[in-house]
Amino acid sequence: MAKGWCGRVRLAASILAFVSAIAAIPPAHAQVASGYAESPSDALARNMKILGGDSTDFNALIGAGRAALAMGDTQAAVGFFGRADEVWPSSPLSQAGMGAAMAQDGDATAALQCFAKAVQRGATQSMIGSDRGLAYDLLGQHAQAQADYRAALLGRDGDEARRRLALSLAISGKKAEALSILAPLMARGDAAAARTRAFVLALTGDISGARSAIDAAMPGSSSKMGYFFQKLASLRSDQKAAAVNLGIFPDSAVRVASASGSSAMASSQEDRMKSIEDWLSNPPSSTGSPIQPQPVPQQVASVSLPTRIIAPSPAARGSSSVGIYSTQKLWLQLASGASAAALPGEFDRLKRKSRDLFEGISGYVFDDGTRARLLIGPFKNSDDASVFADDLASVHIDAFTWTSQPGQTIRKLPSE
Is 198 in contact with 217 (CB distance < 8 Å)? yes
Residues contacting 306, CB < 8 A, separation 6+: 78, 82, 334, 335, 350, 396, 397, 398, 399
Determine the pLDDT at residue 345: 86
Residues 291, 51 contacting (CB under 8 angstroms): yes
The CATH superfamily assigned to 2-246 is Tetratricopeptide repeat domain (1.25.40.10)
The continuous run of DSSP H or E covering 333 comes out as strand 329-337
Listed in sequence order, the residues at least 6 apart from 210 whose beta carbon sits closer than 8 Å to its beta carbon are 198, 199, 201, 202, 225, 229
CA 396 to chain centre: 21
**Closest by alpha carbon to 181, among 158, 202, 206, 203?**
158
Angle formed at CA 285 by CA 281 and CA 290, multiple of 5 degrees: 90
Using omega within 30 degrees of 0 as the cis cutoff, is the peptide bond preceding 378 cis?
Answer: yes
**What's the pLDDT at 36?**
53
Note whether 43 and 33 are within 8 A (CB): no
| DSSP secondary structure string for all residues of 228-242 | HHHHHTTS-HHHHHH
d(CA 147, CA 165): 9
Q: Decide if 340 contacts 365 (C-beta within 8 A).
A: yes
Q: What are the boundaries of each domain within the chain?
A: 2-246, 314-412
Beta-bridge partners for 404: 329
pLDDT, position 72:
84
For residue 404, which phi and psi values (nearest 5 degrees)?
A: -80, 150
How buried is 416 (Cβ within 10 angstroms: 0-12 exposed, 13-18 middle, 19+ buried)? exposed
Phi-psi sector, 173: left (phi>0), alpha (psi -120 to 50), beta: left
What distance in Å separates the CA atoms of residue 189 and residue 193, rounded to the nearest whole number? 8
CA dihedral of 81, 258, 134, 303, whole degrees rounded to 10? -20
User: Among the CATH numbers 3.30.429.10, 3.40.250.10, 3.30.70.1070, 3.30.360.10, which is that of 314-412?
Assistant: 3.30.70.1070
Q: What is the pLDDT along the chain (416 residues), one digit of tens a residue?
A: 333 333 333 344 344 333 333 333 344 344 443 345 688 889 999 999 999 899 899 999 999 999 999 988 887 888 899 889 989 999 999 999 999 999 998 889 999 999 999 999 999 999 999 999 999 999 999 999 999 999 999 988 899 999 999 999 999 999 999 999 999 999 999 999 999 999 999 999 999 999 999 998 888 888 888 888 888 888 999 999 999 998 887 755 445 556 665 433 333 323 374 445 455 555 555 444 444 434 433 333 333 333 333 344 443 433 446 667 767 888 988 888 777 888 888 898 888 888 888 888 889 999 887 778 899 988 888 878 888 888 888 888 888 888 888 778 899 998 75
Query: Whole-angstrom Cα distance, residue 116 to residue 98?
Result: 11
Threshold 0.85, pTM exceeds:
no
- Same fold: 2-246 with 314-412: no
Q: What pLDDT shows up at residue 273?
A: 41
